[in-house]
Amino acid sequence: MHAHEIHLQKISSMSFDQKQIVEEDAVVKVNGRHLVIAVPTPTFEFNGIEMLGVSADAPLAMAMARLSAGDIFKFNQKRFEIEEVH
């Protein structure tokens, strides 16, 4: 199975339930950017909002795992603030 097919399967099985913490299937607004924690994707637009897919196994996703809105963390010597979690 190709990576593209695996990504499509993952996206089709995503839970869009409201999230309180950063976890797989969450949409997270960090430093003004919206990230979908699921699979890596190029930037795309959804409901007029630019989003970027990030693998749940990516170092950035792992650095903010289990954090919630209002939390601040550092990654690669940069400061990030989690503004929203959906």
Sequence-distant (≥ 6) Cβ neighbours of residue 86 within 8 angstroms: 18, 19, 26, 27, 28
Residue 37 near residue 22 (C-beta atoms within 8 A): yes
**pLDDT digits over 29-65, tens only?**
999 999 999 999 889 888 899 999 999 999 999 999 9
Looking at residue 46, what is its pLDDT? 87
Res. 11: pLDDT tops 70:
no
Query: In this structure, is the dihedral angle defined by the CA atoms of residues 57, 86, 29 and 40, taken in order, positive or negative?
Result: positive
For residue 58, the domain's CATH number is 3.10.50
pTM metric for this prediction: 0.85
Domain that holds residue 11: 3-85
Least confident of 8-12, 22-26, 41-45: 8-12
Looking at residue 21, what is its pLDDT? 97
- Domains in the chain, number: 1
